[in-house]
Each structure stands twice: as C-alpha cells, then as structure tokens.
Amino acid sequence: MTHQSDSPRPVVLLILDGIGWGRRDDGDAVFLASTPHIDALQSRFGWGLLQAHGTAVGMPGDDDMGNSEVGHNAMGAGRIFDQGAKLVNRAIETGAIWEGAAWREAVARARAGGTLHLLGLVSDGNVHSHVDHLRAMIDRAVVDGVRRLRVHGLTDGRDVGKRTALRWFGPLDDSLRALSTDGRDYAFATGGGRMHMTMDRYEADWAMVKRGWDCHVHAVGRRFPTVTDAIETLYAEDPSIDDQWLPAFVIDGYDGMHDGDAVLLFNFRGDRAIEISRAFTEPDFRAFDRSGPDGRPPPEVSFAGMMEYDGDLHVPPSFLVAPPVITGTVGDHLAAAGKTVYVVSETQKFGHVTYFFNGNRSDPPRGEERAEVPSLQVPFDQAPAMSADAVTQHAAAAIRSGRYDHVRINLANGDMVGHTGVLDATVTAVGVVDRCVGAIVDATFDAGGVLVLTADHGNADEMFRVDRKRGTYALGPDGQRIVSTSHSLNPVPVVVADPSGRWRLRDPAPDRPMGSIARIGGTLLDLLGLPVPPDYLDSLVRPAARP
C-alpha cells in the first residue's frame, strides 16, 4: 500500500557508522560522549533497537560480528541475503568451491611446476576472511596434489585482539611444516599488517597496496627465519605496535612469485580486496609500477579471488565463490519511480553507502547523485572529527535545496576512530557525530522532511573486549581491560523523526531489538510513498493516524 499524500520530502537516512547501543558504562564511548542531539531525538520521537550482526544480516551465526558491508547491503536490500562468510562455508561444505574453474586452474598450474600462493588476512574475525577457509584450501591442496604452496599472511589486530597474530600464525606454521613431506614444500612466504600493506580501499592509499605488492610478489621486506620469529621480534622492538601496523616481512628462502604460478586471495569481503586484485589482473594497470626493484617485470601468474569483489566492474574476472545476487534494492525501486536521490559520505565509507547499499553495484541508479568527501590522511585517533563537518555541510545543502526525494548520509567517525582502540579519541568522535546530527536534523526539519537515524553495526559502544560467558570486561595478564578494536555484537538504535507528527515508529521497544536493520529498506519505501514489496521485511513506521 502507498501513502503518496502523506509522503514527506526529503526522507533522510542518516547512518551513524559504528555507533551501537552497548553496556552504557565506562567502556562505552557512545555512553560517555556528550550526545544532546541524539538524546533529544530519542526523547521526542521514541526509539528502538535493531539487530546488526549474525543471522540478522546474513552471517553464519549469531556470534559473528556485523560490518559496514553487510549492514549497508541489508539496509539497501530490505531483506536478508546470505553473505560472504556463509556462502564460502557452504561452498566448502558441499565441495562446490573445488569444482569451479578458478580452483582447477590454480591446481593445474601448481601441478605443472608452479607455486600456489594463498594471500589474505589470517584471523577468525570473519569480517574480511576466516582462518578456517585458509586451512580448508591448504588441506584441499594436499588432496589435489599441489607440491609447492606459499602463504602470504596479513596480520589483523582490528577485527580481533590487537596482538593476537600468533594465535593463528604459529599453529599454521606448524601445520605447513608437518605437511612438507612426500615431496611437498609448504611454507609461509610473507606477512605484515593489514593497515600497513595490501588492504587499502576506495583508492585512498595506493602506496599501501604497492608495499604489499612488492613484498608478496617481489619478496621485498625484512627477512626472518620463521613467521613466529618475525612477529615476536617486531613486537619486542616496538611495544606500542599492534598487528594492524606490522611492517612487511619475508621468510628466508622466499624469492618472489614466478611465471606460471597461481595466486588465490582468500578474503571474501570486497572493499579491501579490490585494489590488490586490480594490480594482479589489469593489463593496463597504472596506479603504481609493478616491476621489481631490479626492473624485473611482474610475473605471469593466474589470479582469482575468493569472491567477485565488484560485480559491475567484474573485479577480479576469476573467483572461487559467487557473491550474493541482490536485485530489487531500494535504489532500484527509487529509480523506477523517478525519485531523486543524493548520497554523501567521506572516502572511508563512500563505497558502503553507494556500492554496498545498492546491492554490490558500482554504477549509480538513475536519479542518484553522489558526493565523496576526501578522508584525511592521518591516523584517525589524532583527528577524530575526520571529515564529518564537510560531509554534514554537503548533506545540509542537499536537504535544503528541495531537489531530492531521498538523501542518504554516512558519518564514519564512530567506526573508524573506534577501530583505533583509543577511548578518549572515540568519545570525542561520537561527540562530533552528535553535533553533525544536530545540523542535519535542523536542515531536515526546515525542509519539511523526515529523518531516519540508525547505524550499520556497533563499534564505539564497546571499547574493551567483553567476556561473553561472564558478562564482564576481559582482563589481560596485567589485570587491565583488554582494548577492543573490533566491531561489537550490540544492537543499533533507530529513530524516525517526523516533526509534522504524520509518521511514527511502529511499536518502539528500546529494551529489545525490533528485528534486523534490513527493515530500514521497507521503511524508506514506505516513507517515500512507494509499495513495500512482499519479500521485504516489514516497515518500521506507520502513519500516526493509522490504528
């Protein structure tokens, strides 16, 4: 059913990235921050909670954190689709992953005398990758007769504990050594921190990708006898460094990739996999010089990703597991109805509020205009305001312009500063977000619009690791709380603010989740006077006059 006559203009979706609803204590930066504008919205209009992790957003289980990719996918789709980790798990369980052309090509090259290289983030964070997927690939390589295999492991420290790399690298190194029998040669080759090398996104820092390329492909980096020696030495030399920022290292004996080798990137999430995939696959690649330090041209290797990371641009051309096919998105429905849309974020989250929100498609739907505000090139704990004020200025101008039916905004601070693990900076970041909320509220109300405020997942709401079994913060060997740099499993708040009183949140329940954040999709269509498709989750709103 549509409610065209009741439809406000514009309908503003404001996504407070990484700002969940946590324990409301001294480890919760959202609680500690000054948030008068968010508080006033909740008090005036009522509010609820939505689930933004686990099965509610298509992850394998409810112990799996949500992330910005799946969160924006869910909101933009209005439904729950199985996401990367779950799709890969199923492909491994059924054996379909080993039957595809990408795996068969890699194995064929290895059997013909090449080396099989497995590259990716090594942890059980299950946001970009999962170590179990890497283990499954190694085990299958044994079954399929791969003689020479090298692992290029990126250390995490972001979706898991800050110095936990040896939890996975040590046992993997032991396993690789144990498998190096019967003519097999399996070993670690290179490593380094995910924020130092390889895993850039949105073309924010190609130099970061080049550091990874030079290390993985050309064996450029400090050398160590074993991966354990490398990590322990780097820890000892800089007690302040965590796994995200470990410098590139190379294991003795590794001399780089060679013609005839095969490379498989085992990350399933797309945003931080696209650029390194392009470096391996684009014939006319120009972002950096791919030659070796001695001028040697890049080797001729086959490359495949765990998934297709960009469905529009087909990056990479070869992949192991097909991504979710998401059609009938909010963007599709708005385009079909001739609605005008304005989307704005800073670089760090621009792909989420565009590409992921629109069902993993890069090209804007008809009628959608976009503004990308450059992110600062400094550590975000040193600049917790990030580019939020500029994003807000763009958003407020678009809202007041009268040109758009829908305005979609992402404020990145809660997530990106939360990932640093610095509590004071994150508290400041949340305060900045609240100030921006105030400006966007003013613009929306002045224009006669309605504001839907929510988040894609939690992060800033849980700055220390929680022991789920005990319900308390986990303590380290020194008796201090263990800093968390990862997302949380907490729900996220939702407010529907309509100063005209025409629309209100349906059955607000701040003490329990009202379902998945995928309900945002139907809510937007409802507010914009468009039919909510029967396969969408229910809208969160109803006209105030409706019983």
Supply the DSSP symbol for 221.
Answer: S
Beta strands in 115-243 (DSSP E): 116-121, 148-155, 185-193, 222-224
Give the alpha-carbon dihedral of 509, 511, 516, 520, to 10 degrees: 40
Show contacts of 526-529: CB within 8 Å, 24+ apart. 526/3, 527/7, 527/8, 527/11, 527/450, 527/452, 527/496, 527/503, 528/7, 528/11, 528/334, 528/337, 528/339, 528/405, 528/406, 529/2, 529/3, 529/4, 529/5, 529/6, 529/7
Burial code of 38-57, b = ≥16 C-beta within 10 A, e = fewer? Answer: beebbeebbbbbbbbbbebb
Instruction: Out of 7, 68, 277, 318, pick the active-site residue.
Output: 68
Rounded to 10°, the helix 227-237/166-179 angle is: 160
Q: Yes or no: say if 514 and 48 are a contact pair by the CB < 8 Å rule.
A: yes
Q: What whole-number distance in Å separates Cα of residue 136 and Cα of residue 140?
A: 6
Rounded to 10°, the helix 388-401/423-446 angle is: 10
Q: What whole-number distance in Å separates Cα of residue 233 and Cα of residue 282?
A: 36
Q: What whole-number distance in Å separates Cα of residue 244 and Cα of residue 198?
A: 11
Name residue 321's beta-bridge partners: 307
User: Nearest 5°: phi and psi at 495?
Assistant: -130, 135
Which uninterrupted H or E stretch holds 541? strand 541-543
Q: Is the dihedral of CA 428, 433, 434, 439 positive or negative?
A: positive
Of residues 78, 77, 42, the one with CA closest to residue 453:
42
Burial code of 375-414, b = ≥16 C-beta within 10 A, e = fewer? Answer: bbeeebbebbbbbbeebbebbbebbeeeebbbbbbbbbbb
Rounded to 10°, the helix 68-77/519-527 angle is: 40
Of residues 77, 83, 128, 85, the one with CA closest to residue 361:
77
Residue 7 annotated among the catalytic residues of the structure: no
Of residues 174, 13, 112, the one with CA closest to residue 497:
13
Name residue 150's beta-bridge partners: 117, 187
Of residues 292, 106, 268, the one with CA closest to residue 213:
292
Q: Yes or no: say if 540 and 499 are a contact pair by the CB < 8 Å rule.
A: no
Q: Yes or no: say if 279 and 291 are a contact pair by the CB < 8 Å rule.
A: no
Q: What whole-number distance in Å separates Cα of residue 271 and Cα of residue 464?
A: 26
Active site residues: 68
